[in-house]
A = this chain, B = another copy of it.
Amino acid sequence: MEHREVAAETPIRFETHPSRYVHWRLELEPPVARLIMDVREDRPLRPGYPLKTNSYDLGVDIELFDVIQRLRFEHPEVRVLVISSGKDRIFCSGANIYMLGSSTHAFKVNFCKYTNETRLALEDASAFSGLKSIAAVNGACAGGGYELALACDEILLVDDSSSAVSLPEVPLLAVLPGTGGLTRVVDKRKVRRDLADVFSSLGEGIKGKRAVQWRLVDEAIPLSQFAARVSERARALAATATERGGPGVVLGPLEPTYAEDGIDYRHVSLKVDAATRVASLTVHAPPGDEPGTGAEMRQRGSELWALRAFRELDDALLELRFNRPEVGVILLKTRGEMARVLAVDAALEANRGDWFVSEVVHNMKRVLKRLDLTARSLIALIDEGSCFAGSLFELALAADRSYMLSLDAGPQVALSPANRGALPMSNGLSRLQTRFLAGLPELDFGSGYDAEAALAAGLVSFAPDAIDWEDEVRLAIEERASLSPDALTGMEANLRFAGPETLETKIFGRLSAWQNWIFQRPNAVGETGALTLYGKPERARFNWART
């Protein structure tokens, strides 16, 4: 039943465009945008499961992610996003069960990670772009549907006999809600834990006033007044959001070149060695001068290096996650002139008040978080010709370890204002703070560090000289690639996020780990497991031993 090689058979592409949306309709009525989920049953990402009752698969979520990205860049005039459904009496029934049931464990896990990142993107847009969101729940709202609503700032529910919110995963499927539901119920909406317990073990969900009393939704409104009330709340939220001075910046296509062994973008290249299961991911510094003022940057638009390079990096990371499942080690490299990267960082820092510049920086932040959350071993190679400076030095800080070539007049690394906290990790700290939890040493922001100085300052892990470089790096990569992929995933998930915990780290660290565990338990995915037997006449049969 497992669809083992979905990735290899048909590569999944993550770029899309409003003109190609299949499952969503976006209606712009600034300052409000209405996003209507109307999933095309006959257009799943791969054949084999109809997307009934507004259920979603990765293809549906790729479009949603694109909507949120474009609203931030292309429509600064929009300040409230109202999400509703185009179906009768169904808001969204969550992730498609047959898709889940027929996917590999690795695909399920990566699918949930991506949907989590999309929900967090909604919350990030609310926090940092003043793009508030309302879930206008005009029908049954189950599982992943309710998890989408939970990511919005407000949840308004029709008060009638068919509109209920529910998390039926535990009772119906013997798995957990996969997209942050349990965490958001108790930690974001602060639902009392005993009521959350009842709610999450109840297949049919909670309706109307009780849903409000339990804090599961913000309001329950009779159908006759629903549209008016949603509009009223949208206007009220729009009035509280920060104004962003348009016009918007259109996100152009990335137009990468695909080859058997990788992808070439303008500033990023990905090369995969299938035999050794090692990939090289190289980010190039700007090839020329980048603009220095907000106005010039907006004019450069999506061709701006800081925007384009990180959008390309984002796409490459998704390629690795979904289409290259056997790659175990990613070598992070950079090429180009450090001075140009530092100039970019300085210009971004100097223009943080500009809405577009702010969006560019927040996008860099989200892409770097996607890197932190990518379950592959990351090794930064700071070799000749590299330019690990400022925002690109974040790649080295994100790596599980780094090797820097020690050579007279050899490579340098440099810090910039971008390393001071503009690009925080999911734990809320900068990567420097996370690296130096025992206490931030005195660091030189501005001038470069050669290998010896970087090693002494604790900025890199190792600094072999030219004689040792090749052997030491090769051995490290070979050793890493020889270890159990699962053990490495768990190890990295625990070592990368020391320090404080946030809603995000709780979702990715705690909730996802439990979900992953349950996703491979026989009670869920075994022959008589609940996920396997969903929709069949036979009832699930459980092994009752509690773990």
Contact = CB atoms under 8 A, between A and B. Distances in A.
Given A186-B495, A498-B187, A546-B376, A484 B170 contact: yes
A40 interface: no
Interface in A468-513: 479-480, 483-496, 498-501, 505-506, 509-511, 513
B458 A490 contact: no
B544 A170 contact: no
B461 A375 contact: no
A33 B545 CA distance: 41
Interface-central residue, A197, A325, A479, by most chain B CB under 10 Å: A197
Interface residues of A, number: 89
A532 interface: no
Contacts of A546: 106, 325-328, 375-376, 485, 488-489
Contact of A523 (B194, B480, B484): B484
A226 B514 CA distance: 44
A544 B328 contact: yes
Contacts of A479: 201
B501 A506 contact: yes
B484 A435 contact: no
Contacts of A494: 176, 182-183, 186, 510-511, 514
Interface in A430-451: 434-438
Contacts of A182: 491, 494-495
A524 B486 contact: yes
A200 interface: yes
Interface of A: 104-106, 109-110, 169-171, 173-176, 182-183, 185-187, 190, 192-198, 200-201, 215, 277, 325-328, 375-376, 399-402, 434-438, 458, 461, 479-480, 483-496, 498-501, 505-506, 509-511, 513-518, 520-521, 523-524, 530, 540, 542-547
